Structure 1
């Protein structure tokens, strides 16, 4: 790993709470952008766009987590305001 750190700085994905929050918020912003551009939620299957399918899978996963009570309350509130079930 020391060699990777030397040869490829930044290769590690940080798993800190801050980086997880930033990643989640980034996905949420992509969802907002998609809705703004297309006027609809992304689909998780059947789109010709890999980006839409990926975002649709994230959306589906977040809905499942929300319904199962596994989504942090703050995230659930943000998510439910944008994409209610």
Structure 2
């Protein structure tokens, strides 16, 4: 598996998404990746979790591991951007 690094701003973005989810819904929803929607029109393996106008796209690698695929604005051409 490749190493990855998040910039300070990327971590800040994720923190803001979590905070928004926590304040708007609950800690359970903020922490629970199974609440995402399956984007079958893109791929049966792709799930997305919407926060505000952005969607965090991910793939389930195992019961306790997910791979973040993309962070995209909901008005983008999602299929073409994910398949890039």
TM-score (norm 2): 0.34
When Rg is computed on C-alpha atoms for both structures, the one with the higher figure is: 1
Which structure features the higher share of helix residues? 1
Which structure features the higher share of strand residues? 2
TM-score (norm 1): 0.34
Instruction: Work out which structure has the larger RCO, using CA pairs closer than 8 Å and 6 or more positions apart in sequence.
Output: 1
